[in-house]
Structure 1
Amino acid sequence: MGLLDELRSRNFSLYAQWLGIISLILLVVLGVVALTSNFIFSIVGWVIAFILFFVEIPLCTKFCPTSPRFDAFIARFENAYFRGAMYIV
C-alpha cells in the first residue's frame, strides 16, 4: 500500500502512533538536555512523556499496575480525533 492509498483511506493511526513514540523519546531526551537551562519546561515535558507512554503504547497499561482513576484519565484519549487535536495544540 503506497502513500497515496494511505491518504485516500484516511487511516493514519499507525503513523500517528509512531509519531507519538518519537515525540515521547524526544520529550525525554530534550528534557534531560534542557534541565539546567529550563527546569520547568523539562518537568512539563517529562509529565507529557509519561502520559504519552500510557496513551500511545496500550500494551504498557496491561503490564504496569494502574489505578482505576488513572485508567479513566487515559480512556479520555482513546478518541483519535481528540489525540490529534492535542498533538496540534
Structure 2
Amino acid sequence: MTLTEELKTRNFSLYGQWTGILCIILCIATGIGTIFTFSLGLIIFSAVAIGEGLTLIFVEVPFLLRICPISENFSGFVQRFNNNWPRAGFYLILALIQWFSLFVRASGLIVAAIFLTFASAFYALAALKHQDFTTSSTLGGHGIAQQII
C-alpha cells in the first residue's frame, strides 16, 4: 500500500503515526534549539524533549526494533504501545511534560507540545471509533517487517 492509499483509508491510527513522525523531528529540533538558553529549567525540558524524540523513533518505526541493538527492557517498554489507547495516553503524557515547560518560560518547545497533543488526539479518535491499530507499511509496519523475517 502506498502512502496516499494509506491516508485515504481514514484510519486515525495512521494519521497518529505520521503525526508521531513529525513529533520526532520537532522534539529533537526544538530540544536542540532551546537547549542553548540560559535558563536551567528550559535546559532540562530541552533534554527531555530530545529524549522523547529518540524514544518516539522506536515507538513509531517498528522496523528499527529489529535492526538496532536495544535491551529487552526497552523493547518490552516500546511494545506496550501497540494499541491505540496506550499510544494516546503515552503521547498525552509526553505532551503534558512539554506543556509544563511554559511554567518556566515560553519557548519553541510549545510546538512540540502542540503536535504531541495532536498525535494523542488522533490515537484517541482511532480508539473511540473502534478502528484497528495499524502501522504504516512505509515505516516498517506489516509490509517491511514481514520481508525481513
TM-score by length of 1: 0.82
Shift of 1:62: 1.1
Match of 1:28 in 2: 28
1:3-18 to 2 correspondence within 5 Å?
6=10, 11-18=11-18
1:1-89 to 2 correspondence within 5 Å?
6=10, 11-37=11-37, 38-89=42-93
Aligned-pair identity (%):
39
Specify which structure has the bigger relative contact order, considering alpha-carbon pairs within 8 angstroms and separated by 6 or more residues: 2
* Greater alpha carbon shift after TM alignment, 19-28 vs 75-84: 75-84
Residue 36 of structure 2 aligns with an amino acid whose one-letter code is: T
Aligned length: 84
CA distance in 2, matches of 1:67, 1:32: 26
Q: Secondary structure at the match of 1:77?
A: coil
Shift of 1:63: 1.2
Root mean square deviation of aligned Cα:
2.0
* Unaligned segments of structure 2, at least 5 residues: 94-149
* Unaligned segments of structure 1, at least 5 residues: none
* Greater alpha carbon shift after TM alignment, 24-33 vs 60-69: 60-69
Residue 42 of structure 1 aligns with an amino acid whose one-letter code is: S
Q: Secondary structure at the match of 1:86?
A: helix
Shift of 1:86: 2.4
Shift of 1:20: 0.2
